[in-house]
Structure 1
Amino acid sequence: MGRDAAVTERRHTTRAPLLPDSARKRLVEDLRRQGVEDEAVLRAIGKVPRHVFVSEGMRWRAYENTALPIGQAQTISQPLVVGLMTQALLADGARKRVLEVGTGCGYQAAVLAEVVHRVFTVERIRVLSMQARETLKQLNYRNIVFNYGDGMAGWAGHAPYDGIVVTAGTAAVPAAFVNQLSVGGRIVMPLGGKGAQQLVILDKQSDGSLSRRDLQGVAFVPLLAGKA
Structure 2
Amino acid sequence: MQSHARGHLVYAAGGVLAVHTERGTSIVPADRVAWTPAGFTHSHRAHGDTDMRIVFLPPSLARLVPDRPAVFLASGLAREVLLALTGPRDSDDAAPRHSRSARSRLLRVLVDELREAPEQPLHLPEPRDDRLRAIARILRETPAENASLAELGRTIGASTRTLSRLFRAELGMTFYEWRTQLRVYHALVLLADGHDTTRTAHACGWANPSGFIAAFTDIVGTTPGRYRAGRRTTAR
Q: TM-score range by the shorter chain?
A: under 0.3
Q: Which has the higher contact order (CA 8 A, sep 6+)?
A: 2
TM-score normalised by L of structure 2: 0.26
User: TM-score normalised to the size of structure 1?
Assistant: 0.27
Say which structure is richer in helix: 2
